[in-house]
Structure 1
């Protein structure tokens, strides 16, 4: 069985040790065993859980929803409907975020192309482009 120190897990996920301890304190992580010297010992179960936590946090899932999800997951047969509802809601949230990001990317690309063309105009002494032409 693989075992990891808090420093290794911290580096693995780019999380401060204080965050790992907090996740443990609020019950987001399964019980973390400790050595006689009180050093935490993380297992593959913790690594897998942290992978899911980081993924869900990237999607904007709140701590409350994370805790709710993992509570349901512990008794998935009794809470499968709740799990599916929670995940579908998060999927809708992510789809909305993607749509907003794609719109922002379009605007960014318009500006980028506009300013690249201004640079070309400056370099060759031609007339500057018209911003309205970039909305076509």
Structure 2
């Protein structure tokens, strides 16, 4: 569990992972060495896994997103999983219970590109695709 100070640190870093240590310390009313030590402990505990950037796929020309439910044909699960891992347009994928084995997000430049990618899976899996119209809730942390 996180104490209130650690929660404040994480909240601030979620907003801006590039904040300077000095500014972070100031915002949480701690000294820089104390803040640095808390950051180190959060990393060691695996609470903070990385400091990263948030890139907008649309700025890179990926104007479409699709959610694809994938059900491998009998005996094809390992091959399908490898294919998903190898196709860079799959930006994330969850292995799930239920009728489908995978639920994946694709970033695409065109509908034609969607067809090309799904054609690579057609002889190994059944797919069901939905085009994303908007994303009212962006990826976020669960409550701290």
TM range, smaller chain: under 0.3
Higher relative contact order (CA 8 A, sep 6+): 2
TM-score (norm 1): 0.21
Bigger share in helix: 1
Bigger share in strand: 2
